[in-house]
Amino acid sequence: MKASLWYRIVGVIVLLAAAFVYLFPSLTSDLPEWWKRFLPSNKIRLGLDLQGGTHLVLTVDVDKALENVLERTADELRREAGEKQLALAQVQRVDKSIEVKIESPEVRSAFEDFLRDNFPNLAVADSQTRNGVAVFSLKLTNIEERRLREFTVEQALETIRNRIDQFGVTEPIIQRQGSQDIVVQLPGIQDPQRAKALIGRTALLEFKLLAELPDAEAYLSGQKPLPPGIEILTGYGGERVGRRVEKTKYLVESKVLLTGDAIADAQVRPGSQLEGPYVALELTPRGAKQFEEITAANVKRRLAIILDNTVYSAPVIQERIPGGRASITGNFDIKEARDLAIVLRAGALPAPVHIAEERTVGPSLGRDSIRQGLISVIVGGSLVVAFMVVYYKFAGVLADLALILNIIFLMAALSALQATLTLPGIAGIVLTLGMAVDANVLINERIREELRLGRTARAAIEAGYERALPAILDSNITTFLSGLILFQFGAGPIKGFAVTLCIGIVTSVFTAVVGTRIVYDWLLAYRKMERVSI
């Protein structure tokens, strides 16, 4: 028995030492360098309600994503029909459908077979004849539309998460809410406007050729209507005004030669003092091959690099460019260049996002929350400690020591798991204090019953722990399972409560059942205790 007792004592001492190692960084702001190299240095993370920061609800424009898909599908349908030598009079997107016009009667049945074999994601929503021309209205199938809606929100969620991770926010909360909303919480953020601009930027990168038209000024000024396949975009490239350059207009061919999908990496590079830093792009192998073909076929023409319909630069292609490298200039400052590199590395959003709700929590409110939370823990804990000492005497003192041990293990576990402590989490800690003494109350009442029956101290203690254990496990396991359900299906504040509750249940059962039992066994083995003060 003495050997097993010492094993348990050593085990608790080891756990206490580990708890100290994980808690020490949270207790001091000046860690030794050797500690940072060899031991954990992460502090307990504070949530948005304690640290302050920004809370955003973003709505993903899923309908716009569906329109983009239909636009690309229409282009693909037109190209493949041409390869199959199907004479289609017109293929265009109209709202949320693709309208196909066929003049030749013999092509109609062939078109339906072609559609079924090559575009199973499209269904004929309507077909009619107008002035001898067959008009088909094609829509995405219900299954395909649901899949695209789900995929768009999930892709937007992942893209936003990647951007925020590179932005450097500690412990952000990014999760889906409803069918097309995304909740973003940024604890401790110091520049919410920059964060919002970074999150909401669509970052659609396109490479297009500038149009070569005579009398371009007449088109730019609106004196002449634009020819088909030509558009006007605004961008940089005019006269310098201070740090930036004046916006100018460009005539651009609508055909997209290359998109941001071809980008493998984007890094900020220092430029000349006159132009400032620029963003260097590295293309994927497939993108590098396409870029080489584009530059080889368009030597001496200007290639526009367009981000979100803004022309950032339009250099002249002097020669074929192999190697898959390009750059974006635009008289950036270092912060603008860094943010642009972040959104290009993280990828383009599949659809625009709009800020539906915004709340900013100041650090003063966080300090007030921490102060009030600590007061609630101290007051609640003090009342519990006082009650246990008065009602259970020495057994109550042991219960209070187990309570202190429980809080130490709980906070160390939060630090080790890098969980976020929130205001609801503090409420979970307060509830854990009650759950912890509940186990000790069950044990102490069982010991009292055994002593009333005339049992010896050793027999009463052994029987008390043995008979109280099933009730302790039953109540704590059911509460632990409830906490897991709250964590799985709850939102941010509910998750914070569930985390501290579940961790606290494990530590409270350990300290109540194992910690206090070690003290009793030591007293029985080495102090020959004959009476129990309870």
pLDDT digits (tens, 9 = 90+) for 353-407: 888 888 776 665 556 767 777 787 788 778 888 888 888 888 888 888 888 898 8
Evaluate whether 181 touches 59 at the Cβ level (below 8 Å).
yes
Q: Are residues 36 and 73 in the same domain?
A: no
Same domain, 428 and 516: yes
In a domain, 31, yes or no: yes
The number of angstroms, rounded, from the C-alpha of 41 to the middle of its chain's C-alpha atoms is: 24
Q: Which of 104, 108, 119, 105 is nearest to 73 (CA)?
A: 119
d(CA 527, CA 291): 84
CA pair distance 507, 435, nearest whole angstrom: 10
Q: What is the pLDDT of residue 240?
A: 39
- Give dist(CA 53, CA 68) in Å, integer: 34
Within 392-506, strands assigned E span: 420-421
Residue 407 lies in a domain: yes
**Contact (Cβ atoms closer than 8 angstroms) between residue 45 and residue 70:** no
Residue-level pLDDT at 226: 85
User: Does 468 reside within a domain?
Assistant: yes
Residue 58 is assigned to a structural domain of this protein: no
Instruction: Name residue 91's beta-bridge partners.
Output: 100
Question: Alpha-carbon dihedral of residues 160, 164, 165, 169, nearest 10 degrees?
Answer: -150
Task: Decide: 233 and 304 in contact? Cβ < 8 Å.
Answer: yes
Q: Check whether residue 107 and residue 23 sit in a common domain.
A: no
Q: Tell whether 234 and 327 lie within a shared domain.
A: yes
């603008």: which residue's tokens? 336
What is the C-alpha to C-alpha distance for residues 122 and 133, in angstroms, rounded to an integer?
A: 21
Phi, psi of 52 (to 5 degrees): 85, 165
Is 349 inside a domain boundary? no
**Cβ(312)–Cβ(330) under 8 Å?**
yes
The verdict on 276 and 399 lying in the same domain is: no
Judge contact between 521 and 5, C-beta under 8 A.
yes
Nearest to 376 by CA among 316, 336, 330, 431: 431
- What sign results for the dihedral spanned by CA atoms 346, 350, 354, 358? negative
Give the bridge partners for 354, in sequence order: 59
In a domain, 158, yes or no: no
Does residue 511 sit in the same domain as residue 367?
Answer: yes
Q: How confident is the model at residue 256 (pLDDT cuts 50, 70, 90)?
A: confident
Residue 28, token pair as written in the block: 């001091």
C-alpha distance from residue 73 to each of 84, 107, 479 (Å): 16, 20, 52
For residues 262 and 227, membership in a common domain is answered with yes
Domain containing residue 232: CATH number: 3.30.1360.200
To 5 degrees, how large is the angle CA 372–CA 378–CA 381? 135
Task: Examine the pLDDT at 244 and tell me if it is beyond 50.
Answer: no
User: Residues 45, 67: one domain?
Assistant: no
Residue 57 has pLDDT above 70, yes or no: yes
Pair (43, 90) in one structural domain? no
- Residue range(s) defining the domain that contains residue 247: 206-331
Same domain, 427 and 290: no
Tokens of 389: 């000492």
Domain assignment present for residue 457? The answer is: yes
Confidence class for position 238, pLDDT limits 50, 70, 90: very low
Q: How far apart are CA 222 and CA 5, in angstroms?
A: 92
Whether 521 shows a pLDDT value over 50: the answer reads: yes
Nearest to 61, CA basis, from 180, 184, 200 = 180
**Secondary structure class of 245 (helix, strand, coil):** strand
Checking if the pLDDT of 285 tops 60, the result is yes
> What total of structural domains would you count in the chain?
3
Residue 288 sits in the same domain as residue 216: yes
pLDDT at 219 over 80: yes
In this structure, what token pair is assigned to residue 124? 């004929």
CA distances from 295 to 88, 209, 300, 312 (A): 32, 10, 9, 18
Burial of residue 19 (CB within 10 Å: 0-12, 13-18, 19+) is buried
Antiparallel, parallel or unpaired: β 90-94 and 97-102: antiparallel
Distance CA 328, CA 335 (A): 15
CA distance 240 to 477: 69
pLDDT in tens, 199-215: 766 667 788 999 888 88
User: Can you tell me the mean pLDDT for 113-126?
Assistant: 84
pLDDT band at 330 (very low <50, low <70, confident <90, very high): low
Helix (H) or strand (E) holding 376: helix 363-392
Q: How many other CB atoms sit within 10 Å of the CB of residue 424?
A: 22
CB-CB contact of 189 with 53 (8 Å): yes
Cβ atoms of 230 and 282 within 8 Å: the answer is no
Q: Does the pLDDT value for residue 241 go beyond 70?
A: no
User: What mean pLDDT value characterizes the chain?
Assistant: 80
* pLDDT in the model for residue 519: 87
Which CATH number is 16's domain given? 1.20.1640.10
User: Where residue 120 sits, what CATH number does that domain have?
Assistant: 3.30.1360
Q: Please compute the mean of the pLDDT values over residues 128-153 and round it to a whole number.
A: 85
Helix axes 394-416, 516-526, angle to 10 degrees: 130
Mapped onto helix, strand or coil, the DSSP state of residue 92 is: strand
Are 503 and 411 contained in the same domain? yes
Closest-CA residue to 329 (of 347, 310, 313): 313
Helix, strand counts (H, E) of the chain = 16, 19
